[in-house]
A and B are shown apart, each in its own frame.
Chain A
Amino acid sequence: MIAALRKEILIQWRTRGQVIAVFIFGATSLLLFSFGVGPNAEVLRQFSAGFLWLALLLSSTLTLAESFHAEMENRALEGLLLLPTDPRALYYGKAVANWLQLSILGTALIPVMVVLYDAGTERVLALIGIVVLGTAGLSAPGTLYAAMTAQVRSKQTLLPLLLFPLIVPALLSSVKATSLVILGDPMESLRSWILLLVAFDAIYWALCGLLYERVVED
């Protein structure tokens, strides 16, 4: 798995222009969402968590689909599968690399959200922690579905269609937890939402690893 992860990180580093483009896409989405609400600072702040996760979700489909571009070139994925390696190690290598990339993207979008929506909080570490946990919930099934749709011509359409319904529980938990960190938590329910998110993450990561071989094999 370490070799697979190293390969993914090297490829991501060499094609980092794509990462910057995805960040700009996410930041632009946040800006456009603010136009939809109008210049009402209170409402903007109230919706900031939802908008952050929507921007991350839309950006993630680009990141996830792109992560299999290199695998399709020269049929490198087939070459990997024919190596004496457990396909699960290949999956977890790619999923962890995607998770890392989405975590960095989410963390980088936080200051954009704070500036655009006046959604500052003193609990920055808690916010980053939720982004890390939430993006884990996106990247595990996202990597699986990206593998499934990588060889399909309309993958940019198919990937979100398959992925979005599956990640609703993780997305809901992430939005609620982020919202509680930004707006305050009078009922002290943050812990419950984080536990729910961790539970969904655990299910996604365990199940998707098991299913990967079936998805990519002939």
Chain B
Amino acid sequence: MLRCMPELAIDAEGLSRRYGRRWALIDVSLRVPAGSVVMIAGRNGSGKSTLLRVLATAIRPDLGRAKVAGFDLLSHRQDVRNATALLSHDSYLYEALTARENLEIVRRENVMSILQRVSLADRADDPVSTFSAGMRKRLSFARVLMQDPKVVFLDEPYGQLDPDGAAMVDEVVRDLKSRGVAVLMATHQLERVGRIADQSLTLEMGRVVRP
């Protein structure tokens, strides 16, 4: 009898990364099916952001291998980038440009509808330098949505957001999941994300301690 295996969005084996002499990520393996939400928990400095940045090709792993959206992390970096989006600690925004102009760097279509989705449509033509931290976070989130990815990496998506903003993140993550997008979320909001997540893993000093 044939068994249908769910398509894997991420298949990583033994990922390790060091900064100088300090190992930030040690032998991390994970398998994430398409359309699932994975919560990554752990203390500050446990390697959550490093794991997301490695998988999003922002940095290279020193050891290990991984396939993201079916593409090899090391040999097909551009293909991985075409299929993924990262919400980082850094906003990736240009201060001198307006919200609309920042999104138009990614794509010129549907800018206003995405801005509406993150409740920034009325500030579309204001420069980012005039935005509060929460508004910047919303705009960074909009930037992720503009990329129409198959795999999304969210690093502390609830940080600096008001309750409405946090509810918006929940709603968007559920929507992404329903469209078959895999979401990896590094967060300290364990209870909140626990309600959405299909699986979780906990990192401690770069190692997976609870898969």
Is A15 on the interface with B (CB-CB < 8 A)? yes
Contact flag A79-B88 (CB < 8 Å), given A7-B105, A10-B101, A218-B58: yes
A70 to B94, CA, bound (A): 6
Question: Could you say which residues of chain A place their CB within 8 Å of the CB of B56?
Answer: 82
Question: Could you say which residues of chain B place their CB within 8 Å of the CB of A70?
Answer: 94-96
Is B82 on the interface with A (CB-CB < 8 A)? yes
**Main DSSP-derived SS at the B contact region:** loop
Is B29 on the interface with A (CB-CB < 8 A)? no
Which residue in B85, B101, B143, B147 is a CB contact (below 8 Å) of A7? B101
Is A20 on the interface with B (CB-CB < 8 A)? no
A101 to B89, CA, bound (A): 32
Which residue in A11, A14, A76, A218 is a CB contact (below 8 Å) of B92? A76
A-contact bits for B50-79, CB 8 A (1 contact / 0 none): 000000111110000000000000000010
Which residue in A75, A83, A84 is a CB contact (below 8 Å) of B90? A75
Return A136 CB to nearest CB of chain B, in Å.
Answer: 25
Return B110 CB to nearest CB of chain A, in Å.
Answer: 15
B-contact bits for A66-83, CB 8 A (1 contact / 0 none): 000010011110111111
Return B93 CB to nearest CB of chain A, in Å.
Answer: 5
Question: Could you say which residues of chain B place their CB within 8 Å of the CB of A14?
Answer: 96-97, 127
Residue of B nearest to A79 (CB): B92
Residue of A nearest to B97 (CB): A10
Return B66 CB to nearest CB of chain A, in Å.
Answer: 15
B103-123: which have CB < 8 Å to A?
104-106, 108
B-contact bits for A56-97, CB 8 A (1 contact / 0 none): 000000000000001001111011111110100000000000
Is B37 on the interface with A (CB-CB < 8 A)? no
**Which of the listed residues A3, A74, A86 has the most CB atoms from chain B within 10 Å of its own CB?**
A74
| Complex contact A3–B92 (CB within 8 A) | no
| Complex contact B106–A10 (CB within 8 A) | no
- Interface residues of A, count at CB 8 A: 22
A14 to B97, CA, bound (A): 8
Is B32 on the interface with A (CB-CB < 8 A)? no
| Complex contact B97–A78 (CB within 8 A) | no
| Complex contact B94–A83 (CB within 8 A) | no
| Complex contact B82–A79 (CB within 8 A) | no
| Complex contact A83–B81 (CB within 8 A) | yes
Which residue in B81, B91, B94, B97 is a CB contact (below 8 Å) of A82? B81
| Complex contact A15–B96 (CB within 8 A) | yes
Question: Could you say which residues of chain A place their CB within 8 Å of the CB of B95?
Answer: 70, 73-74
| Complex contact B92–A78 (CB within 8 A) | yes
Question: Could you say which residues of chain A place their CB within 8 Å of the CB of B96?
Answer: 10-11, 14-15, 70
| Complex contact A11–B104 (CB within 8 A) | no
| Complex contact B106–A83 (CB within 8 A) | yes
Question: Could you say which residues of chain B place their CB within 8 Å of the CB of A79?
Answer: 88, 90, 92-93, 143
A75 to B143, CA, bound (A): 14
A165-187: which have CB < 8 Å to B?
none
| Complex contact A7–B60 (CB within 8 A) | no
| Complex contact A11–B94 (CB within 8 A) | yes
| Complex contact A74–B127 (CB within 8 A) | no
| Complex contact B101–A84 (CB within 8 A) | no
| Complex contact B97–A11 (CB within 8 A) | yes
Question: Could you say which residues of chain B place their CB within 8 Å of the CB of A73?
Answer: 94-95
A-B contact pairs, 12 of them (CB 8 A): A3-B104, A3-B108, A4-B105, A11-B94, A11-B96, A11-B97, A14-B97, A74-B90, A74-B92, A75-B88, A83-B147, A218-B59
The 6 closest A-B pairs by CB, nearest first: A79-B92, A75-B90, A84-B82, A14-B96, A218-B59, A74-B91
Binding site for B on A (CB under 8 A): 3-4, 6-7, 10-11, 14-15, 70, 73-76, 78-84, 86, 218
For the complex with contacts A74-B91, A82-B58, 5 further pairs of A-B residues with Cβ separation under 8 Å are A4-B105, A75-B88, A76-B93, A78-B58, A82-B85
